[in-house]
Every structure is written in structure tokens, then in C-alpha cells.
A and B are shown apart, each in its own frame.
Chain A
Amino acid sequence: MDRPGSPYQIELSPHIHSGITKDGLMARTFLAMCVPAVAAGFAMGTDALIHIVLAVGTSLVCRLLITALLPRGSRPQDDRSAASPLVAGMIVGLSMPIASPYPLTVGVSALTMTVFKWLQGRAFGRKYVNPAAASKLVLLGGLTLAAGLGAGMLFYPGHLRLDLWSAAGFDRVIEFYETQRLSGIESLILWKTHGWIGGASGLAVLVAGVGVVIWLKLKWRIVLSLFLVIGSLAILVGALTGGDVVGRLVFHLFTGSVVFMGFFMATEPQSTPMTDGGQCAFGALLGVGTFLLQQMNVLGGSIIALVAMNLLTPFFDRIGMRRPYGHGGGR
């Protein structure tokens, strides 16, 4: 915006910046996710770490290839930064079930980087769906449809035999999480050996997630409304079925597909609403969708609800706008 002939740079205000950068936010997110990653390493063993390394490595390689092979105008604008692929890879790694084969993890990571991050951004100017969730849904869903649940690993097929609508059925689910040292509820909160890698320790995710929400000033309304709705529905169903209400609450909140998704995927900025009310509605409906999928035994299917809500984000952006100052909205 320099004025011709002037040695001075002419710009609109402001002329200073807070120093908060996208790379900084990404680096902080990555660091925060290292907490559940380390916990997964302890709880699930080296297998979990291999998944994470594969996902992150694939993500970095894909970014390198995009940068190297494409002309400058087609590359991502932050192509010099490794922060974005690091975070994307980490999310993929942590959102994979520990039982999934390594090639699936590599495939989801590659699809995330190439199609749902780069191509989606290039085609639409922004991301309408969470890249990791959409990749997982497309690849694993496609495999599931083509070759069955066992091959697709969208969720564990054995879960279909569960009965979450009765107290007795739910007790058997909780027993499933019991270990030699921990009760089912303790295991859900502290130390799981199956399910999403990122959810190995619900407590670790909770600590890192709350920290990152405060640290990064993420869209906390989504997280809050999501957990409030899931928690409320869990208590309601627990009360109606006469079973263990606390157990229900812990189960629905601390499965990896809820607690990790809630903090680190549902708050992905580009695919989520910006208005206050829109964020609350997004989180609440995501909670309803996730809860119902869990009740229907699709454990790990929260990404289906997430992608569906992502697609409704343009609508959510039109509702729930706060009233500005001067219109009765003095905050």
C-alpha cells in the first residue's frame, strides 16, 4: 500500500500486533496434545506411539510434497511452517483406534493433508469440514461399506452386541473396561487400553484440553455445551433405566471419541461457528448426535456427528448473535 514516490509505508491502523500468530497457536496445540500422546504411550504401549509417529510423519511428507510439486500460487500460504502438518498429523494419530492397522493411519493422514486440508481450502477458500474427521469418515466409512466393519475400523464391530439402553446391559459395558487394578469407571477416567489412542487417559485429555482452551482462548462454548448436553443426557438415561448414573456419566464423557474429539477436534476453528449462540447450538447438537450414536453402539462414531455439524456451520453462523453495545448488549 505504499504511495508512489514516497519512501514511507502507508498503511491503515493498527500499527502494532499482539504477537499471537497462527503458528504460535498451532505450536501450543501440538504441545498440549503431547500430554495425551505420552499418556497413550504408557497405557497402550509402543503401538500407540507408532501410530502417532506414522500419522505425523505422513502429514509432514504430504506437506513437503505439496510445497515441492505445486507452483507457488497453489501452495498453502503458510507453506514454510511445519506447525500445521504437525497438528493435523497428531490429531489423526490420536483419533485412530489402537486396533487399526498402520496403513489405515497412514492413509487417513495422507487424505487429511492432501484432500481435506489443501484441496478443500483451495476449492472453497476455507475448510467446511474438520479435515481429520472427514478423512477418517470417508476412508474408513468407505472401507466399512466395501469390506465390512472389521476391515473399516470405523468402530469396533464387537460393540454392536452391546445394550446401552438397559441397566444390565450397561453394567456389562462397564465391566468391559475393568482391569486387574482398576474398576471400569477408574479405567475410563485414567487408563484405557483400547479405543481411540488420544483417549487412553481421559484425565490427561481433560487436563490438556482445559489448559488449551484457556491458553489459546479456543471456542470454549462448543466444549462446554457439548459436555453439558452429553452429561445431562447420560444422567437422564441413567435415571430412567435405573442403572449406575455415575457410570453412565463417566462412560459417555470419557470415551476417547468424546473427550478427545470435544477438546481437539470440535474446536477446530475453520469448520465451527463464530457466533456465541451458534457455538452453543453447535456443541449441543453435536452432543445429542454423539450421545445417540454411542447409545446405538457406534462408539467412535462421534466424527459422523462432527462432520454433520461442520456442514451446518454456515447456518449456525447466522443464529445466536449477541446484541452489540448500543442495542442493549452492554457486556
Chain B
Amino acid sequence: MIRRVDRYRFREAGGFVVDASAKRGGEIVPFQTVPDPESCVVLLTQHAGRSNVPLVRPGETVIEGQKIADSDDAMGVPVHAPISGIVRKIEDVYHPGAGAGAPAAFIERHAPESPLGSRVFDPDRLDEVSTETLLGAVREAGIVGLGGAAFPTHVKLAMREKAARLVINAKESDPNVACDLRLQQEYPDEIVAGIRAMSRILDPEEVIFASRAGPGAFPELEALLARAGVAVAHIRPSYSVGSEKLLVRELFGLEVPCGGYPPDVGVVVHNVFTAYAVARALFAGEPLISRGLTLLSRATGPRNLWVKVGTPLRDVLRFAGLDPERFRRLTVASLLMGRSVPDPDVPVIKATAGICAFEPDEPDPYDRSLPCIRCGSCNAVCPVGIYPALIMEAEARGQTARLRRLHAEDCIDCGLCSYVCPATIRLTGSLRRATATVRPANGSGASSGSEHPGSGDTDRPFGRGQRSC
């Protein structure tokens, strides 16, 4: 059964509203599979953590599903070849997550071969498998948080002692992403199988499926969840509640302490797409080499696509019938948090939940900003209760002590302050610099303002580095 989910006015603090109507109806658009590209550009590090090292060399032949990069770091997650082909070169390309250059393998497709699979588990006999084996399988499948922060999933799943509650975040808060809801319509079995597997590993006292959709929107999924003993929490439409820390507050009234993570208050949060990926990895032997995403443009509206990781945006746009050259701005991930990219050859990565293409007559709304009028809208809307305008002021004056008093490190980079600013000031740059100023230099390896990789934060869609308090 296909039903529309009509809750696209996301209520925020201070009485403000995020208009997510651009993705209206996206949940009824079925996934289409983008054909394998002639050439893939696979970034060798696609998780929040230390860099991987390549396991292949130029000229080597690889098979779909073959591991091509990995690290011996505990937080490391391997990357796999999304297509069978020949590695032509390994060189730096623009990383849409980091916003900087990073090594990538260029794989040229050749005649298809049977993809490499990994060990497949019987979903009904998971109790006979050790937790360590399951965690190892999740890691080897290269699974990271698919909400956007790309935090290694096996690391979160290993927090068994801390996890009294497992929350599946199906909030789908980004104003341009519709694929999470679509996934819930098309793949309810896989989602519930993934949740079961995660529950088996974490052994929580309670499992909650947090959804933006109202009761009855996805009857099949709801019936499966009920059978699996998973409670469904219907969350109010809100963008900021998509952040896992704020979701924890919304659901349980708990506050994750500064510098901490949800497991510190007994909660582990995973994205619904991650649950699906875990199911595919454990029960179909499929590493994470493709994902669903939503392409949004004025010409196409929201389109849900199934895309191989490493596919250049150019190929995705062409598949949707769009000429990549006609756009002036291309953004990846969330419209409120994601980056715009320098060219359409930038590849899809594991964390790419959305792509937006803006025509030349859709200019950057922040092009003509005015001086701050101190209206306080940014302060009122801030979901974590900091004062973005005062932070911007202190940052401009180089007042580090004041930045600490203002708790600049608590910014979750949600972008709401800029979104409501009547002077159309993009505050994010200033806030990122401020956060970097007050954060310790060794803060979990995070460089200033980097969303991921390199960020130790599991918060999504608000990935930033570890905070100081």
C-alpha cells in the first residue's frame, strides 16, 4: 500500500518552521536503479576515523565486492569495489564529506563477473553466532552510519554494556531527502531483519523505531515491527530532532552531556538505512557498495535512486534526464548541512543521502547578505540553546575566552541559524571557526569544521568533532 506522508512543515524552536515541501510526495516515488557507470571513483576513506590504506594498485583487476582499502585502526571500516573492473589510477579527488582532496581509486568497468559475497547468516539462527563474529561481519561489510555522519557501525554496535535502548532513527529530517520513507515502504522485511540483528548484538532492554510518519502510514512495516516487539514512536515533524542527541531528548527527556554521546545515557541510535545495510550484509553477504538517495531538482522533483558508491554525480544526473552542465550549484547530502561540490565528477559516497541540482536562475539565497541586525532569530531557533549571533560577534573580534563562555563548541552545525537569518548571513563559516578555536587541538582527530571523515561525532545530521566542555 502506498500512502503519502503529509508532514512537511518542520517545527523548530522559537516558532520557526523549516519548509520541507520540496520533497513532498517523494515517498511515493519508487527507487530506480542507476546503471553501473563506465568508471567509478571510489574514495578510499568513507568513514569518520583515520584514513584507510589502499589494498590494490593501478592496473590490478578487481571484482565487485572486493575490499580495496582498509585500515588496522579500531575505528576503521573497509571500502569495497562497487563494480568489477581495472584500477586505472589512485589519486586525490574532492571528498564531498571532508570538503578537501582525498585519495580515490578510479575503476574502469569491464565485463561483469559474479560479485564477491561474504559469509551469509541465517536470520533465524543468529543466537548460535557469537557477537564478535557478527560485529566482525558488520565491519568487514564496510558499514557506516548512513544518516550522513558515516560513523563506523560496528563501533556503535559494540557498546553492549552501555546500550539499554536501541533507537532506529527513521525521522528523515533533511528537507531534501525522501529515500528513508521510501525505504520503509519498499524494504520493510530487510529493515526489521536488520533491527533484529542489531538487537541481537546489542541486547538492549528496549527497541524503538522513531518515525516522522503518522500511525498507519506504513502498515506492513508497522505489523512487522509489532511482531518483532519493536515499539514505534511517532515523532513530531522537526528538522533538528533528526540529530541523534536531540532525538534522545525528544524520546526520553535525557540530555547527553557535553562532549558525550547517546550511549553515555544508555541509548544507541542507528539510522534506518544502516539497519537495512546490516541486514543486506549479514543475510545476503552484500558489502556496502550501493545506497539509496534522493535526487532533487526543479525539473525532476524528488527522485529516489539506487546508486553504486563511486558513481560520479554526472552519471546520476544523466540517468535522471538532466544535463549536468546546465546547473550552477550542486549540493550533496542535506540542503541545510551538506556541501556544494566543485564539479559533477565528484562521486557518490556512502554518506550521500541526497543530491540537489540548482538551475542558474536559482541563485544562492545568501548571495546578498546584510550586516547583522541583532534580531535574535538565530538565538531563538538554535536547537542546542547557544547564541550564534554573539558567537559570530566574538569570533570576528578574536575573543577566545568569550567564545568559551558562549559554549561555541556545542554548535551542531545544523544550519538553522542561517536559515532563519533575515539579513541572510551564512553563519556556518564563523561558527565552524569558533568551534575550532575553542576545541582542543587533539579533539578526536577532527580538523576545524570538517563534518566527516575526520570527525568523531556520531551525531547526524550534525557531524562535528568531539567537543570540549
Q: Which A residues form the contact surface with B (CB < 8 A)?
A: 3, 6-22, 24-25, 77-78, 121, 125-126, 214, 217-219, 269-270, 272, 274-275, 317, 321-331
Interface centre among A13, A17, A322 (most CB of B within 10 A): A13
- Secondary structure at the A interface, as helix, strand, loop or mixed, is loop
A121–B372 Cα distance when bound, in Å, is: 11
A270–B467 Cα distance when bound, in Å, is: 31
Instruction: Determine whether the beta carbon of A14 is less than 8 Å from that of B410.
Output: no
Instruction: Determine whether the beta carbon of A274 is less than 8 Å from that of B390.
Output: yes
Shortest beta-carbon distance, A11 to chain B, in Å? 5
Shortest beta-carbon distance, B459 to chain A, in Å? 11
Selected from B258, B370, B376, B406, the residue in CB contact (under 8 A) with A269 is B376
Closest to A4 in B: B342
Instruction: Determine whether the beta carbon of A21 is less than 8 Å from that of B327.
Output: no
A327 touching B469 in the complex, CB below 8 Å, given contacts A9-B329, A11-B340, A219-B376: yes
Segment from B31-39, B128-136, B280-288, B412-420 that makes contact with A: B412-420
B175 at the interface (CB under 8 A from A): yes
A329–B383 Cα distance when bound, in Å, is: 11
Which residues of B sit under 8 angstroms from A274, Cβ to Cβ? 374, 376, 379, 387, 389-390
Selected from B16, B358, B376, B419, the residue in CB contact (under 8 A) with A14 is B419
A25–B423 Cα distance when bound, in Å, is: 10
User: Could you list 26 A-B pairs, sorted by A, with CB under 8 Å?
Assistant: A7-B328, A8-B341, A9-B340, A11-B340, A13-B335, A13-B415, A14-B335, A14-B337, A14-B415, A14-B419, A15-B364, A16-B175, A16-B365, A17-B419, A20-B421, A25-B422, A274-B374, A274-B379, A274-B389, A275-B390, A321-B405, A324-B385, A326-B257, A326-B259, A326-B469, A328-B255
Segment from B72-80, B245-253, B437-445 that makes contact with A: B245-253
Interface centre among B335, B406, B419 (most CB of A within 10 A): B419
Instruction: Determine whether the beta carbon of A331 is less than 8 Å from that of B385.
Output: yes
Binary per-residue interface labels of chain B (248-273) against chain A in the complex, 1 for a CB within 8 Å, 0 otherwise: 01000101111110000000000000
A35–B360 Cα distance when bound, in Å, is: 41
Shortest beta-carbon distance, B446 to chain A, in Å? 17
Instruction: Determine whether the beta carbon of A11 is less than 8 Å from that of B329.
Output: yes
A22 touching B422 in the complex, CB below 8 Å, given contacts A15-B338, A326-B469: yes
Shortest beta-carbon distance, A153 to chain B, in Å? 31
Which residues of A sit under 8 angstroms from B257, Cβ to Cβ? 326
Instruction: Determine whether the beta carbon of A8 is less than 8 Å from that of B342.
Output: yes
Q: Shortest 5 CB-CB distances between A and B: which pairs?
A: A326-B258, A14-B415, A17-B365, A325-B384, A330-B255
Shortest beta-carbon distance, B428 to chain A, in Å? 5
Which residues of B sit under 8 angstroms from A18, Cβ to Cβ? 16-19, 419-420
Which residues of A sit under 8 angstroms from B390, Cβ to Cβ? 274-275, 317
Shortest beta-carbon distance, A90 to chain B, in Å? 17
Shortest beta-carbon distance, A312 to chain B, in Å? 15
Within 8 A of A (CB), among B352-408: 356, 358, 364-366, 370-377, 379-380, 383-387, 389-390, 405-407
Instruction: Determine whether the beta carbon of B356 is less than 8 Å from that of A13.
Output: no
A252–B15 Cα distance when bound, in Å, is: 31
Task: Give the A-B contact count at a CB cut-off of 8 A.
Answer: 170
B334 at the interface (CB under 8 A from A): yes
Which residues of B sit under 8 angstroms from A330, Cβ to Cβ? 249, 253, 255
Q: A17-B419, A219-B375, A330-B255 are in contact. List 5 more A-B contacts (CB 8 A).
A: A12-B428, A14-B415, A17-B365, A17-B418, A19-B19
A16–B19 Cα distance when bound, in Å, is: 10
Instruction: Determine whether the beta carbon of B335 is less than 8 Å from that of A22.
Output: no
B320 at the interface (CB under 8 A from A): no
Binary per-residue interface labels of chain B (310-334) against chain A in the complex, 1 for a CB within 8 Å, 0 otherwise: 0000000000000001011111001
A275–B407 Cα distance when bound, in Å, is: 13
Which residues of B sit under 8 angstroms from A7, Cβ to Cβ? 325, 328, 343
B14 at the interface (CB under 8 A from A): yes
Instruction: Determine whether the beta carbon of A325 is less than 8 Å from that of B343.
Output: no
Instruction: Determine whether the beta carbon of A11 is less than 8 Å from that of B426.
Output: yes
Instruction: Determine whether the beta carbon of B385 is less than 8 Å from that of A20.
Output: no
Instruction: Determine whether the beta carbon of A269 is less than 8 Å from that of B374.
Output: yes
Shortest beta-carbon distance, A329 to chain B, in Å? 5
Closest to B386 in A: A324
Selected from A10, A17, A78, A327, the residue in CB contact (under 8 A) with B341 is A10
Instruction: Determine whether the beta carbon of A20 is less than 8 Å from that of B374.
Output: no
A218–B422 Cα distance when bound, in Å, is: 12
Interface centre among A6, A219, A275, A327 (most CB of B within 10 A): A327
B229 at the interface (CB under 8 A from A): no
Instruction: Determine whether the beta carbon of B337 is less than 8 Å from that of A13.
Output: yes
Instruction: Determine whether the beta carbon of A331 is less than 8 Å from that of B13.
Output: yes
Instruction: Determine whether the beta carbon of A22 is less than 8 Å from that of B340.
Output: no
Which residues of A sit under 8 angstroms from B432, Cβ to Cβ? 12
Instruction: Determine whether the beta carbon of A325 is less than 8 Å from that of B340.
Output: no
A16–B366 Cα distance when bound, in Å, is: 8
Shortest beta-carbon distance, A161 to chain B, in Å? 41
A275–B387 Cα distance when bound, in Å, is: 7
Instruction: Determine whether the beta carbon of A9 is less than 8 Å from that of B373.
Output: no
Shortest beta-carbon distance, B170 to chain A, in Å? 22
Shortest beta-carbon distance, B443 to chain A, in Å? 15
B336 at the interface (CB under 8 A from A): yes
Instruction: Determine whether the beta carbon of B328 is less than 8 Å from that of A325.
Output: no
A217–B420 Cα distance when bound, in Å, is: 11
A9–B253 Cα distance when bound, in Å, is: 41
A217–B370 Cα distance when bound, in Å, is: 19
A9–B328 Cα distance when bound, in Å, is: 6
Closest to B449 in A: A12
Instruction: Determine whether the beta carbon of A324 is less than 8 Å from that of B422.
Output: no
Which residues of B sit under 8 angstroms from A269, Cβ to Cβ? 373-376
Which residues of A sit under 8 angstroms from B469, Cβ to Cβ? 326-327
Instruction: Determine whether the beta carbon of A126 is less than 8 Å from that of B374.
Output: yes
Which residues of A sit under 8 angstroms from B17, Cβ to Cβ? 18
Selected from B13, B371, B422, the residue in CB contact (under 8 A) with A21 is B422
Binary per-residue interface labels of chain B (11-43) against chain A in the complex, 1 for a CB within 8 Å, 0 otherwise: 001111111000000000000000000000000
B429 at the interface (CB under 8 A from A): yes
A321–B406 Cα distance when bound, in Å, is: 8
B71 at the interface (CB under 8 A from A): no
A304–B379 Cα distance when bound, in Å, is: 28
Which residues of B sit under 8 angstroms from A322, Cβ to Cβ? 385
Shortest beta-carbon distance, B31 to chain A, in Å? 24
A217 touching B15 in the complex, CB below 8 Å, given contacts A14-B415, A14-B419, A15-B331: yes
Instruction: Determine whether the beta carbon of A78 is less than 8 Å from that of B370.
Output: yes
A323–B384 Cα distance when bound, in Å, is: 9
Shortest beta-carbon distance, B388 to chain A, in Å? 10
A245–B379 Cα distance when bound, in Å, is: 38
Shortest beta-carbon distance, A118 to chain B, in Å? 13
Closest to B255 in A: A330
A65–B237 Cα distance when bound, in Å, is: 49
Which residues of A sit under 8 angstroms from B372, Cβ to Cβ? 126
Which residues of B sit under 8 angstroms from A121, Cβ to Cβ? 371
Instruction: Determine whether the beta carbon of B331 is less than 8 Å from that of A77.
Output: no
Shortest beta-carbon distance, B188 to chain A, in Å? 31
B424 at the interface (CB under 8 A from A): yes
A327 touching B258 in the complex, CB below 8 Å, given contacts A8-B340, A321-B387: yes
